[in-house]
């Protein structure tokens, strides 16, 4: 692998001790809050008037399982997947009967496009059931985007997110993606084709790999600039309890390299795109975000392993395919776990998302949650000020400006939060037996 010669522009982000302290604080709170209790639940709570909801649908199948991926997924078997799609649509019918409607839909995986005809049926069904849906966001991989069937998603999907991670062949081999999806050059060529099909094409990139020099990252960002997609997401690599032991010590960079790599991203994408969230960049300000939890306080998940956040509770559908099919066939929800949160925990969560999305507003907390942000979360706000993460907007007393250091802090916090959520997934997958996989 090449040695580093690229030097990022000097930027005030965060000292190493503050990054470490943030990780420890996040570890404390996620261990305190992110655990779910078993629950026997026939149906989720009904929708509330005036609330805006997003529909999340999970497709848990892949042809091969990437070593670093910690999402809920199974090796693909066609007959199992087809039966699953049928039950997914039945669960959507069930949700409709409860009175829900949705403004947006997000389809995640797994590989959502693993059987395109079934995905198309599911998306068409969702639009028919929920006429308020204005945008559907979907994920896919670089291999499938040149297949003839992929073009059939045009007009159904408004935002297609393609997992690239890197154009560097050494990193693609390290992450076991080279044999699966081809070389960086081949992936680059396919992406040009995909951009013609959808109003928003999002390219998922990743940093924080071991051996990923600043030169490599800079070259990746320059190739993104040449592609000029409408949206780019730059995730930090997350190694959790679910990451295979064989790669844990060889795939991830040390924590103190992330800040320098983030500076490279700010120097390149940050100067050419609008900074939508700490790791998302877009050509305009009105694009669908990659992290739907930013725009939607409440969302309902369908499918095995799907999460919902409704009112004050997190609900989790069963991770067992067998039990999921049985529950849906019996006319029940897929939910088998629940965690109820107190008001203060929800406010802390929304503060983190406000920092991450660079949309930290006193008006939001006042009008939506009925609290004075500076008084109710006084300790948290003071800590953010001392860290140099936020400052008041002199032109708008309700707006709080998130600094470059705050953007990086938001990234560190969300990385810790999602890693903790992956640990929840690991806990729920651990008791599964062979019969649960079909």
Position 300 in a domain: no
Hey, is 157 helix, strand or coil? strand
Q: Based on the structure, what is the number of domains in the chain?
A: 2
Residues 377 and 286 in one domain: no
Considering the domain architecture, whether residues 17 and 50 belong to the same structural domain is answered as: no
Q: How far is CA 299 from CA 120, 141, 180, 330, in A?
A: 22, 25, 33, 23
Q: What is the pLDDT of residues 27-66, one digit of tens each?
A: 998 888 888 888 877 778 899 998 999 999 999 988 777 6
User: What does DSSP say about strands 274-277 and 280-282: parallel, antiparallel, or unpaired?
Assistant: antiparallel
**CATH number of the CATH domain containing 397:** 1.10.10
Domain identity same for 12 and 113: no
Confirm whether 302 is domain-assigned.
no
Distance from C-alpha of 187 to C-alpha of 69, rounded to nearest angstrom: 19
Say if 140 falls within a structural domain. Answer: yes
Give the pair of three-digit tokens for residue 199: 């109003």
Q: Residues 375-410, buried b or exposed e (16+ Cβ, 10 A)? A: ebbeebbebbeebbbbeeeeeeeeebebbbbbbbbb
DSSP line for 18-33: HHHHHHHHHHHHHHHH
Of residues 338, 310, 329, 336, the one with CA closest to residue 94? 329
Same domain, 378 and 287: no
Contact 392, 37 (CB under 8 A): no
Tell me the residue range of the domain where 53 lies: 38-292
**Rounded Cα distance, 332 and 98, in Å:** 12
The answer to whether position 233 is within a domain reads yes
- Say if residue 180 is in the same domain as residue 55: yes
**177 occurs within a structural domain:** yes
Name the β-bridge partners of 275: 281
Greatest extent of the chain over all pairs of C-alpha atoms, in Å: 61
Residue among 131, 242, 219, 231 at smallest CA distance from 191: 231
Tell me, yes or no, whether 19 and 113 share the same domain: no
Q: How many other CB atoms are there within 10 angstroms of residue 120's CB atom?
A: 16
| Residue at a domain's end among 234, 269, 292 | 292
CB contact at 8 A, 364 and 400: no
**Do 54 and 121 have their domain in common?**
yes
Secondary structure (3-state) at 256:
helix
Q: Are residues 21 and 50 in the same domain?
A: no
Residue by residue, DSSP assigns 76-120 as --HHHHHHHHHHHHHHHHHHHHTT---SEEEEEES-TTTTHHHHH
Distance of CA 298 to the CA centre of its chain: 15
272 with 347, same domain: the answer is: no
Can you give the pLDDT at residue 244?
45
Q: Which tens digit of pLDDT belongs to each residue from 195-206?
A: 889 999 999 999
Specify whether 264 is located in the same domain as 158.
yes
Q: Do residues 252 and 369 both lie within one domain?
A: no
Tens digit of each residue's pLDDT, the chain (438 residues): 444 577 766 666 777 778 888 888 889 988 888 888 888 777 788 999 989 999 999 999 887 776 667 678 888 899 999 999 999 999 999 999 999 999 999 999 888 988 999 999 999 999 999 999 999 999 998 888 888 888 899 999 999 999 999 999 999 988 888 888 889 999 999 998 888 899 999 999 999 888 889 999 999 999 999 999 999 999 988 766 554 444 445 566 655 688 889 999 999 998 889 999 999 999 876 665 566 778 889 999 999 999 999 999 999 999 999 999 999 999 888 899 999 999 999 999 999 999 999 999 999 999 999 999 999 999 999 999 999 999 999 999 999 999 999 999 999 999 999 888 888 888 888 888 888 787
CA–CA dist 352, 409 (Å, integer): 9
Residues 19 and 79 in one domain: no
Give the pLDDT score at 270.
86
- What number of residues does the chain have? 438
The C-alpha atoms of residue 197 and residue 152 are separated, in whole angstroms, by 9
Taking alpha carbons only, the member of 90, 99, 94 closest to residue 43 is 94
Helix, strand, coil shares, percent, the chain, to 5: 45, 20, 35
């Amino acid at each position: 692998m090449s040695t580093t010669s690229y030097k990022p522009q000097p930027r005030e982000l965060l000292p190493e001790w503050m990054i470490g302290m943030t990780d420890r604080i996040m570890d404390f709170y996620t261990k305190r809050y992110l655990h779910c209790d078993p629950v026997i639940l026939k149906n989720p709570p009904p929708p509330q008037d005036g609330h805006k909801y997003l529909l999340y649908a999970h497709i848990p199948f892949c042809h091969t399982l990437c070593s670093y991926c910690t999402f809920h997924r199974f090796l693909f078997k066609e007959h199992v997947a087809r039966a699953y799609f049928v039950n997914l649509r039945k669960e959507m019918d069930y949700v409709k009967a409860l009175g829900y409607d949705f403004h947006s839909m997000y389809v995640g995986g797994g590989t959502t496009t693993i059987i395109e005809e079934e995905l198309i049926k599911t998306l068409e069904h969702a639009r028919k059931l929920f006429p308020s849906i204005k945008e559907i966001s979907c994920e896919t991989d670089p291999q499938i985007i040149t297949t003839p069937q992929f073009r059939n998603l045009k007009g159904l999907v408004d935002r297609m997110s393609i997992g690239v991670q890197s154009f560097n062949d050494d990193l693609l081999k390290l992450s076991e993606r080279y044999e699966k999806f081809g070389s960086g050059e081949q992936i680059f060529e396919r992406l040009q084709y995909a951009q013609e099909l959808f109003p928003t094409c999002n390219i998922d990139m990743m940093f924080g790999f071991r051996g990923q020099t600043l030169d490599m990252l800079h070259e990746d960002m320059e190739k993104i600039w040449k592609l000029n997609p409408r949206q780019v997401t730059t995730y930090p690599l997350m190694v959790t309890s679910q990451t295979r032991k064989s790669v844990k010590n060889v795939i991830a960079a040390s924590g103190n390299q992330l800040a320098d790599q983030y500076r490279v991203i700010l120097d390149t994408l940050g100067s050419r795109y609008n900074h939508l969230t700490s790791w998302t960049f877009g050509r305009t300000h009105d694009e669908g975000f990659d992290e739907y939890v930013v725009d939607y306080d409440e969302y309902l998940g369908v499918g095995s392993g799907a999460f919902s956040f409704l009112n004050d509770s997190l609900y989790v559908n069963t991770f067992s395919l067998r039990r999921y099919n049985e529950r849906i066939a019996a006319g029940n929800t897929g939910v088998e776990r629940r965690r109820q949160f107190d008001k203060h925990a929800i406010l802390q969560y929304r503060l983190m998302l406000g920092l991450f999305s660079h949309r930290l507003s006193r008006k939001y907390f006042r009008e939506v949650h009925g609290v004075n942000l500076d008084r109710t979360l006084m300790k948290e706000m003071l800590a953010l000020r001392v860290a140099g993460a936020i400052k008041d907007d002199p032109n708008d007393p309700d707006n709080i400006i998130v600094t470059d250091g705050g953007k990086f802090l938001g990234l560190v916090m969300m990385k810790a939060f999602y890693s903790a959520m992956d640990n929840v997934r690991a806990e729920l997958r651990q008791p599964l037996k062979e019969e649960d996989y079909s």
